[in-house]
Amino acid sequence: MKTPYKNIYAILKLNKFIVLAVIICATLLGIFSVIMAFNMHRKALNSAFAINTDGSIIPLKLVTQKENFKVEALAHLELFHTYFYNIDASNYEKNLKKALWLGNSSVDNLYRQKKADGVYNRLLQYSLVQKVLRIDSQIAEKNDTYSFRTVTLFEINRGSIIDTYELVSTGNLITVDRNFPNNPHGLLITDYFENTLKKQSNESRKE
């Protein structure tokens, strides 16, 4: 029995369909490639770059984010040190409660230690006024870890006597969810430590 030949018109129709499908796919792929190239070119034109100290190129967006972080970090540190050290008999409970929102257990442990040492009892007993005069903080970054060093100048008013002290404290900063108004900057102080506390003379204070 002879094998019947396929209808040549059906074969040509099938080939025509395949060629047409290939052409359509190639056209769509070409249009997609052009659109992607155009978008990449437009993003490149709208982007700016900065040169790092090691010669590498950093998108300006990343630089801006780091600058914004530094501003937030400095504001966070100033807020914390103001709450923690700018205290008197009338506001210390309220201020310390706010300060504890800005740090982790290292801050809480320091607070508990001061409380056990009678710092706040003396504040009440002698009606002391502890006033922050200046807060200077420095932020350092290493391997995506942010550390800080803060110098806080404050005075303790004992009525007829006013003593000025310089406190150097250090720690790290991590990002957390913002919690307004308790933690508006979305940062948390960790590994907080009071390194040195020095009493200032009248001459150094004038300077």
* 3 state SS for the chain: CCCCCCCHHHHHHHHHHHHHHHHHHHHHHHHHHHHHHHHHHHHHHHCCEEECCCCCEEEHHHHHHHHHHHHHHHHHHHHHHHHHHCEECCCHHHHHHHHHCCECHHHHHHHHHHHHCCHHHHHHHCCCEEEEEEEEEEEEEECCEEEEEEEEEEEEECCCCEEEEEEEEEEEEEECCCECCCECCCEEEEEEEEEEEEEECHHHHHC
pLDDT at 111 over 80: yes
Model pLDDT for residues 58-71, shown as the tens digit of each residue: 555 555 667 788 99
Question: Given this model, what pLDDT does residue 45 score?
Answer: 47
Mean pLDDT over residues 165-181, rounded? 95
Percent pLDDT > 90 in the chain is 58
Q: Is the pTM of the predicted complex or chain greater than 0.75?
A: no
Of the candidates 154, 139, 171, the one whose C-alpha atom is nearest the C-alpha of residue 205 is 154
Distance separating alpha carbons of residues 39 and 35, to the nearest angstrom: 6
Separation of first and last alpha carbons in the chain: 117
Model pLDDT for residues 41-91, shown as the tens digit of each residue: 555 545 555 555 555 555 555 556 677 889 999 999 999 999 999 999 999
Which single residue is written with the structure tokens 């006597």?
161
